[in-house]
Copies of this chain bind each other. A is one copy, B any other.
């Protein structure tokens, strides 16, 4: 009955047996399981990158999907393995904040510390709980084992606030590049909430400062830019992106994840939302 879909988001990469082995574990427990990769190329050990990836994708999956989010530099230590149930989705992840952006979006959450060792593979390694613990639990969950059987609820789970832009003065806000995507688009942490004027059909005069570049044009689409032009665009993730038509903004500007981003309006028009 409970043929729950399972997704995988991790930093295990594609160059080793890790992801394949995890699927083997799941399918050995539940041969009918349906497994979909969201992304296994999260930057190694990068919890924020994992958090951004799952936050973008999970809402597009069917209700009752089990999302594995295994970015787990603390594997084998006393960091807890978690089973999280939200309104429509379930998550398996280490308790290191990798679900922080899910926590931000979901109102009703139940977070459990997975302790039911009889569901784990034995002997359990100290270095690959993706295989020995999380995949095994995902297999059993997908077969319909009740969440309460895996462990007790906890409330002191780890969460961090995603970095938000901050006003420096009346005309300037400072943010950051959250990531660059495969095309070299720079995804900033600015949204229409902090700088609504930027996304108006005729925005007031502005400068977006990234690296040594001053961006002064917003476009509606990636291909709206002239050849070589660096411009801003509202991306599909809901963030301000810095882009180049058929090119890489990351390479053109020399900026990447972590680079500072300033949004400067000529007049004191910035109306930072009280977050």
Contacts and interface: CB of A to CB of B under 8 A. Distances in A.
A211 interface: no
A170 interface: no
Contact of A224 (B20, B77, B183, B236): B77
Contacts of A184: 44
Contacts of A109: none
A5 B25 CA distance: 13
A28 B58 CA distance: 11
A140 to B, nearest CB: 15
Nearest to A60: B24
Given A27-B36, A62-B27, A56 B14 contact: no
Given A36-B27, A39-B14, A181-B15, A131 B20 contact: no
A176 B234 CA distance: 39
Given A73-B222, A222-B76, A38 B17 contact: yes
Contacts of A223: 73-77
Contacts of A131: 60, 236
Contacts of A44: 182-184, 248
Interface stretch (A120-128, A149-157, A159-167, A263-271): A120-128
A25 B220 contact: no
Nearest to A121: B60
A201 to B, nearest CB: 13
Interface in A110-164: 125-128, 131-132
A25 B233 CA distance: 23
In which size bucket is the chain A interface? 35 or more
Contacts of A224: 76-77
Interface in A3-23: 5, 7, 9, 11-21, 23
Interface of A: 5, 7, 9, 11-21, 23-25, 27-28, 31, 35-41, 44-45, 53-54, 56-58, 60-62, 65, 73-77, 125-128, 131-132, 181-184, 220-224, 233-236, 241, 245-246, 248
22 contacts: A5-B27, A5-B31, A9-B17, A11-B182, A12-B182, A13-B182, A17-B39, A18-B181, A20-B37, A21-B38, A24-B58, A24-B61, A27-B61, A28-B61, A44-B183, A73-B222, A74-B223, A77-B221, A77-B224, A125-B235, A126-B234, A127-B234
Closest 7 CB pairs of A and B: A20-B38, A13-B182, A76-B221, A128-B236, A24-B60, A24-B61, A125-B236
